[in-house]
Amino acid sequence: MAEGDKQRFSQNPYFDFQGNMQSQRQGPAFQIHFYMDECYEQFRSLEKERKKAEVILKKAFPGKRAAVMTNTNPPKTPPKSTRVDYLIINQMKEQAKVASLFDRMECLCGVPLHINIHAALKTHHMAVCITQSRRKEDSGNMTKQQQQGINFTEDRDNPLMVMALKELAATTKRLRTALWCALQSTVPKAIKTQEHEVDEEAACAEGVSSPFLGYSFCL
pLDDT of residue 210: 47
Q: What is the residue extent of each domain of the chain? A: 38-63+80-206
DSSP the chain: --HHHHHHHHH-TTHHHHHHHHHHHTSHHHHHHHHHHHHHHHHHHHHHHHHHHHHHHHHHSTT--------SS---PPTT--HHHHHHHHHHHHHHHHHHHHHHHHHHHSSPPPHHHHHHHHHHHHHHHHHHHHHHHHHHHHHHHHHTT----TTS--HHHHHHHHHHHHHHHHHHHHHHHHHHHHS-HHHHHHHHHHHHHHHHHHTS--TTSS--S--
Please report the pLDDT score of residue 202 as a whole number: 44
**Which pLDDT does position 151 carry in this prediction?**
52
Q: What local confidence, expressed as pLDDT, does residue 43 receive? A: 98
Instruction: Please give the model's pTM, rounded to 2 decimal places.
Output: 0.71
Please report, in tens digits, the pLDDT of each residue of the chain (219 residues total).
555 555 554 555 444 444 444 444 556 678 889 999 999 999 999 999 999 999 999 999 888 776 555 665 767 777 778 899 999 999 999 999 999 999 999 999 889 999 999 999 999 999 999 999 998 887 666 555 555 555 545 545 588 899 999 999 999 999 999 999 999 999 886 455 555 554 544 444 444 444 455 444 344
Q: What is the pLDDT of residue 80?
A: 76
